[in-house]
Amino acid sequence: MKLMHYKITYTDLTDVLVVETEGRMNADDFMAMGESLLEHSRYLPGANVIFDHTALEFNHVPVEDLQKIRAFHMSNEGRIGGGKSAIVVKAGLSGDWIKLWSQGEKIKTANRVRIFEDCCEAINWLEEDK
């Protein structure tokens, strides 16, 4: 049984893929989401993506799961490329997201990541380089 669910959509309004997640975050489902994104017909290496994690429960994730997710990112660096990943979390939870990912080793890839509590700010950041 999957604990985390996700939906990947493309919006031509902003020319960006949006990944919406919900439920309890865990490594297996998070990596399945990543693989689905990388296989999406609209995804190209270096693409900008919005990850809407406003409905994702992430407070319980163990460091071991974070390490598995980091290993997935690093082993797929060529497929991911150097685009931007805008992470959107519920208002007031950006510090918790940063605290979660500060555990263990840092992901070292060319992909640029920023955390937002407002989707419009995330879109503006993604459009800065256009």
pLDDT value at position 1? 44
What's the average model confidence in pLDDT over 40-53? Answer: 96
Q: In the CATH scheme, what architecture does the domain 4-91+102-116 have?
A: 2-Layer Sandwich (3.30)
If phi > 0 it is left, if psi is from -120 to 50 it is alpha, else beta; for residue 92 that is left
pLDDT value at position 72? 96
In the sheet that holds 16-24, the strands lie side by side as: 4-11, 16-24, 49-57, 84-88, 112-116
- List the chain domain ranges: 4-91+102-116
- As a whole number of angstroms, the distance between CA 82 and CA 109 comes to 8
The dihedrals phi and psi of 99, each to the nearest 5 degrees, come to -60, -45
pLDDT band at 2 (very low <50, low <70, confident <90, very high): low
% of the chain exceeding 90 in pLDDT: 82
Residue 54 has pLDDT above 60, yes or no: yes
Q: Residue 99, Cα to own-chain centre: how many angstroms?
A: 16
Q: Residue 52, Cα to own-chain centre: how many angstroms?
A: 8
Amino acid code (one letter) for 29 = D
Joined tokens for residue 122: 């995330």
